[in-house]
Structure 1
Amino acid sequence: MPEAITTDGATSGVELDLRHVGQTYPRPSGERLVVLEDISLTLREGEIVGLLGRSGCGKSTLLRIVAGLTPPTCGEVRYRSNIVRGPAEGIALVFQSFALFPWLTVLQNVQAGLDAIGVPEEEARKRTLAAIDLIGLDGFENAYPRELSGGMRQRVGFARAMVVDPTILLMDEPFSALDVLTGETLRSDFMGLWTTRHLPIKSILLVTHNIEEAVFMCDRVLILSSHPGRVVAEIEIPLRHPRQRLSLAFRDVVDDIYSRMMAGPVPVVEGQQPEPIASIATRLPNMSAMRITGLAEMLAGSPFNGRADLPALAARAPLDVNALFRLAEVAQVMGFAELHGGGLHLTTAGHALTEADMAGRKRLFAEHLLRSIPLAAHIRRVLDERPGHAAPRVRFVTELEDHLSTEDAQHTLSAVINWGRYAECFTYDHPRRLFSLENPE
């Protein structure tokens, strides 16, 4: 692939330099959706930098901008002091999905990149076999992707990125599609190759939502906020490789990152009710009401007794970190829990929720839902005011899509439907796409 960069200045000792990068997209209403805002970062030779943030904060978008696949709306990306204006030779990307050609063998999949840039057959085959051997797939050259496990298919993805001898490797959650044990093995093998300098790459930019993975692999971690994505913290990881996950120093760094990420967009003063969400068009996570009440039950029970540090809660709850963050924020906005640093604890209303019978729990949930979530209150108000106490789904979707993407609008409305049904604030007929009140009185 030809290099598509232009020379303009120099930055000594920096492999990659992002300067005030921003990305926006048009909305149906004519407004602009700001995905990334004023992102500046550097990547130096010999280091792994991690991008941490919740789902939807723009991490993958930023990686595509760095790779030259998506032009930024503003700002610039410099690779070795040259402005990136398209896919650049020397930057390779490993995707979250395996993205292999199912009709090609392992050898053919790995060699495809070299063939695309016109490397002679003999040299391409030699480099391909070396990459396959390096990544631990020697003996599987003639196997097809369907014959391989998930971990082996991702190794093919790594080999395909390595074979072009990149200077910088971009990694978009490369272990997230694997089961825990396979991901752990591949992650450890990769870090073994990195620390012993067997890899041809000079620097790595890693996108992840896994805090322990970031601490295990990275030299620095940048935390991105959401809506829009901004760099809100930069954390040095002062631990030598190989890192021990169970060491106190490792756990301290993990706890610190949890605390910073859980500082959250909804600040809370001890003992005060959090402010309600300001707009009906605020993006909401599609978490079920049962999960919200289940979180309260878990916090109320042993060993937490009403208060838990997020790492401990994450270890006990059957949720990934992103889901836990979203669930904790919803519980806070609805007034059932409060976030302080890296801890989450039940409010008086949260304790009452866990102690009430089913009818009392629904009444309390309904009260907090209509007070804290404007979209739920808006739907209920429309249904109350209409003579037939009914309204089509499209009536609310149209309002949301003036401010949110179609996908976000659907997820947000689905979340409120779930919460409203549970609280018996309204009902929803899915086949007819119709909101109504079962009992208008």
Structure 2
Amino acid sequence: MSTIDIIGLDGYENAYPRELSGGMRQRVGFARALAVEPEILCMDEPFSALDVLTAENLRSELLRLWQAGDVPTTAVLIVTHGIEEAVSLADRVVILGGDPGHVRTTLPINLPHPRNRKSALFQQITDLVYTILSEKDYEVSPDDIAVLNQGMYATFQPAPASDSFQQAASLSQRKPKSSRSEPFEAFETARPTNLDISEEWAPNQDSPLRYPQLPAVRIGSVTGLLSFIAEDDVDLYVLGQRLQLDVDDLYPLIEAANILGLIELNEGDARISAKGQRFVGASIDERKHMIRIAALSAPEARLVAQIYRLLSQAAKQELPEDLIFDTILLKHFSPLKARKQLDIAIEWGRYAELFGYEAPTGTLFLDRGDEPAE
């Protein structure tokens, strides 16, 4: 169970493989490998089959776990064809040749973490690796060695939030700022059972307010999105081009990040919020805690809060999904859309460790392992 917690799989213990995204399935692979406490962890293209946002999220979390000493492994070996991935993660890059297979050269990467992909030194090292790979007869020169050695004396330069490995900064270096005036911070020390959500949001045919829909995205993808949004404004059209996402795929991610208070929007531009900056530098458990607070307080995440409240009030703290359909969803959505909304709410609830779901019986249950603090 400790491995499940470390790797961020809390809340998914009862999920079937078909219910897991590609990123979650990869986490399961990591957990299985770490469960035997290997001295050396070997991974072959561990992120290549994932979408860009999920891959960024997992890379940053793996690096954070390694730097924090949360895993017993003493060395990690990754096989990759991604040059930037290698330079971003590795302390040493071993470049192989073929016919027959052999080691061409080994390059020490002495850049401090978190590494800024936009820094001149990072770009120089990336270009060097590319040159060695593309020119079979290339030999590392004294000038190349001088470039590599510059990293030993490089001072830490804060990477912009668009750099994926800003997420790997340890909490000892980046303390979250307290902001008790922010709306959902009030939930930090109290379990919100005093809110009668079912009454507050009772269906009212005369009300002009429409029941909010949860955007159809996984929290892991939202986490990856933050790696590409800087503190300064970034144009959403440019962001979509960079991620190779059309508006139908990008907008739900932006909407979810905004609902959770992780980004701010202004006339077609987005920037990471103060809360988002704290989220980027947080541990897995702290990220889950922040999502838990936001999901229970954001009006647009009303469905998650209602389900949590109903489960809290139930005698056995579990309910059949049919009750959620009949009392909430089918009053506002078609059967097909209601099913999709419940699936999204289950995904968010699992990530935040608010409630779980048993697919064979269609039962939702309160997460009893890590409830919000009293």
TM-score range, shorter chain: 0.3 to 0.5
Greater RCO between the two (CA within 8 Å, min separation 6)? 2
Q: Name which one, 1 or 2, has greater alpha-carbon Rg.
A: 1
Task: Give the alignment's TM-score, normalised by structure 1.
Answer: 0.35
Structure (1 or 2) with the greater helix fraction: 2
Task: Give the alignment's TM-score, normalised by structure 2.
Answer: 0.41
